[in-house]
């Protein structure tokens, strides 16, 4: 960190307005009089709900008559009213109130709605001046350990706006999922080969850059519709900030002092544009995102952050940072971590203790080993849990010693579908299978590594499927007896029309670790 203390970096971030979320959402102040007027419709970025609980969820919107200009509303706070109802015509409103959209927060609004009934949908909308937002639907979770027979959710990652349409979300809506889990790369900070659609900045570094990117992505009609359809749970990966970053280390070796200021800008824009609870409010370059959510007695999801606290990738050289195919002793260093000490302790304390039938660990990486080397020796992806063997061993020990009921691990990032037996010892095919892993392919991002990587599958008998040719997501159906993962794929993402189908379907049976093709 050189001569700069963390306090100095936080102060520098605050100068950019990055600590503004410490302001409470107050009732309309007495000095704010009259009715706000907008040059054009202010709810262009839609509405969203997220972080569901049995008693409520967060609802979100942002006033943006000109979505690519964060100050299009002007420099004054604006009162925004909201209503929550049991019906989409709002004949029975059960919660209503007002919040303030502050200019230093890009006039974004987060409302933590409470006092609702568990396990059911609600409808919500916002009003500002004479304007009314689109209607969104949020869904509360079943009450803690309440008998729950079935649940349906989808998980996805890697939506690059420039290379395809987000039409996989159209299929999620058609499948009427109860929850959408996003595992990272919600935006891409860099414009990679803008084949189809253009974004307002080639490389985001400032708060304005990240805000403009989030706004451009939010203008996608399928993404807006998916946010309005049901509640989301979110974690991030790297492209919300910078490719392959690790904590305060940039893959291009940017000075950590300036990178943390960039990270603070990215985290702030991320919070401003997503339905996240107040506990996730960023403080400069720090943002608490990991959490645990229960769904009656059927499922518990532990949402992890595998990016903010990790050690730098192993086997780095002065010429090459970030993801590499490597093999070096450093990846076995017991001091290396992908979660950070505090998050590891949190996971160890609570994972599986609820007694839920299915325990899902949701994070942004490939967890299982993938040896890319044909024949003797090993080559692994340094970004994945393969580069953080001690952290992975701690999770495996936790699963084995607890024991955790029906552990399922879900991930993203790799632009491919994986289905894996999670082994006690990945080097020994005969070792015990401890858990099941599913990695979703990307919403739009391509996979140029697939033809080469698929040849390595004989070296990895625990990998039951590796498929990188298709774009889509994973649809999950849970009952007391089975966890079914449906690998949904869509047609060419360069075309706006939607054709969706099930590529493969796998089932995990209660009490039997390891997925089986249905």
Average pLDDT over residues 12-25: 37
**What would the pLDDT profile of 29-43 be if each residue is shown by its tens digit?**
434 556 788 889 999
Name 95's bridge partners. 84
State the alpha helices, DSSP H only, in 76-167: none
User: Taking 50 as the threshold, does the pLDDT of residue 25 lie above it?
Assistant: no
> What is the per-residue DSSP string for 226-248?
HHHHSEEEE---STTTSTT-BTT
Distance of alpha carbon 182 from alpha carbon 161, whole angstroms: 15
Q: Are 108 and 60 in contact (CB under 8 A)?
A: yes
Distance of alpha carbon 34 from alpha carbon 462, whole angstroms: 65
SS3 content of the chain, % helix, strand, coil (to 5): 20, 30, 50
Distance of alpha carbon 103 from alpha carbon 63, whole angstroms: 10
Peptide bond between residue 403 and the one before it cis (omega within 30 degrees of 0): yes
**What would the pLDDT profile of 96-142 be if each residue is shown by its tens digit?**
999 999 999 999 999 999 999 999 999 999 999 999 999 999 999 99
Distance of alpha carbon 386 from alpha carbon 371, whole angstroms: 9
* SS3 track for 312-346: CCCCCCCCCCCCCEECCHHHHCCCCCCCCHHHHHH
Q: Are 370 and 383 in contact (CB under 8 A)?
A: no
**3-state SS, residue 465:** strand
pLDDT for 318 equals 73
Handedness of CA 416, 420, 426, 428 (dihedral sign): negative
Query: Cα dist. 181→38, 157, 423, 439, 507 in Å?
Result: 34, 9, 25, 12, 19
Average pLDDT over residues 45-54: 98
Distance of alpha carbon 189 from alpha carbon 157, whole angstroms: 15
Q: What angle do CA 235, 238, 240 make, to 5 degrees?
A: 70
**What would the pLDDT profile of 270-315 be if each residue is shown by its tens digit?**
999 999 999 999 999 999 999 999 999 999 999 999 999 999 999 9
Distance of alpha carbon 88 from alpha carbon 47, whole angstroms: 14
**What would the pLDDT profile of 255-268 be if each residue is shown by its tens digit?**
999 999 999 999 99
When pLDDT is cut at 50, 70 and 90, the band that residue 69 belongs to is confident
Query: Cα dist. 408→142, 392, 423 in Å?
Result: 20, 14, 12
Q: What φ, ψ does residue 437 adopt, rounded to 5°?
A: -125, 135
Q: Which residue has the higher pLDDT, 461 or 22?
A: 461
pLDDT for 319 equals 75
Residues in the chain: 518
CA 405 to chain centre: 24
**What would the pLDDT profile of 165-219 be if each residue is shown by its tens digit?**
999 999 999 999 999 999 999 999 998 776 899 999 999 999 999 999 999 999 9
Structure tokens at 102: 């502050």
* Structural domains in the chain, sorted by start: 35-139 (2.60.40.380), 150-517 (3.60.21.70)
Structure tokens at 172: 């999620």
Name the DSSP letter for residue 15: H
Q: Where are the beta strands (DSSP E) in 284-415?
A: 291-295, 299-303, 325-326, 358-362, 380-381, 407-411
Q: Are 157 and 185 in contact (CB under 8 A)?
A: yes
Distance of alpha carbon 432 from alpha carbon 22, whole angstroms: 48
Q: Which helix (H) or strand (E) holds 209?
A: helix 207-218
Distance of alpha carbon 291 from alpha carbon 271, whole angstroms: 15
Q: Which residues contact 401 (CB under 8 A, 6 or more apart)?
A: none
Task: Report percent pLDDT > 90 for the chain.
Answer: 86
């Amino acid at each position: 960190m050189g001569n700069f203390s963390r306090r100095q970096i936080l102060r520098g971030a605050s100068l950019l307005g990055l600590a503004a979320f410490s302001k409470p959402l107050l009732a309309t102040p007495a000095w704010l009089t009259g009715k706000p007027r907008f040059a054009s419709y202010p709810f262009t970025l839609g509405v969203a709900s997220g972080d569901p609980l049995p008693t409520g969820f967060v609802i979100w919107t942002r006033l943006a008559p000109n979505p690519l200009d964060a100050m299009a509303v002007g420099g004054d706070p604006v009162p925004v009213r909201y209503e929550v109802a049991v019906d989409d015509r709002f004949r029975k409103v059960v919660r209503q109130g007002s919040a303030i959209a502050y200019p230093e927060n890009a006039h974004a609004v987060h409302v933590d709605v409470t006092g609702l009934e568990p396990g059911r949908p609600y409808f919500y909308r916002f009003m500002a001046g004479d304007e009314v937002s689109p209607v969104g639907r949020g869904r509360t979770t079943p009450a803690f350990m309440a008998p729950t027979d079935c649940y349906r959710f989808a998980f996805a990652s890697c939506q690059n706006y420039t290379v395809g349409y987000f039409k996989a979300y159209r299929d999620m809506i058609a499948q009427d999922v109860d929850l959408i889990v996003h595992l990272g790369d919600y935006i891409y900070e860099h414009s990679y080969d803008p084949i189809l659609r253009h974004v307002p900045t080639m490389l985001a570094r400032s708060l304005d850059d990240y805000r403009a990117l989030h706004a451009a992505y939010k203008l996608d009609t399928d993404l807006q519709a998916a946010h309005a359809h049901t509640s989301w749970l979110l974690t991030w990966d790297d492209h919300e900030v910078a490719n392959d970053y690790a904590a305060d280390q940039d893959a291009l070796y940017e000075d950590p002092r300036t990178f943390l200021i960039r990270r603070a800008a990215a985290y702030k824009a991320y919070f401003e544009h997503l339905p996240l609870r107040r506990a996730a409010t960023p403080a400069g370059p720090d943002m608490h995102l990991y959490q645990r959510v229960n769904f009656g007695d059927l499922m518990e999801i532990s949402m992890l952050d595998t990016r903010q606290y990790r050690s730098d990738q192993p086997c780095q050289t002065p010429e090459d940072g970030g993801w590499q195919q490597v093999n070096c002793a450093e990846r076995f260093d017991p001091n290396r971590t992908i979660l950070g000490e505090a998050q590891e302790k949190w996971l160890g304390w609570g994972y599986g203790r609820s007694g839920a039938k299915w325990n899902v660990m949701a994070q942004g990486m490939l967890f299982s080993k993938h040896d890319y080397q044909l024949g003797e020796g090993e080559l692994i992806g340094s970004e994945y849990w393969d580069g953080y063997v001690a952290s992975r061993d701690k999770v495996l020990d936790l699963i084995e010693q607890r024991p955790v009921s029906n552990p399922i691990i879900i991930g993203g990032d790799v632009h491919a579908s994986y289905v894996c037996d999670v082994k006690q010892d990945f080097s020994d095919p005969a070792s015990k299978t401890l858990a099941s892993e599913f990695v979703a392919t990307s919403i739009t991002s391509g996979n140029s590594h697939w033809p080469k990587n698929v040849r390595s599958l004989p070296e990895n008998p625990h990998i039951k499927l590796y498929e990188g040719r298709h774009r889509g997501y994973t649809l999950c159906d849970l009952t007391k007896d089975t966890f079914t993962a449906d690998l949904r794929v869509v047609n060419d993402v360069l075309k706006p029309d939607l054709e969706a189908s099930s590529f493969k379907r796998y089932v995990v049976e209660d009490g039997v670790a390891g997925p089986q093709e249905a």
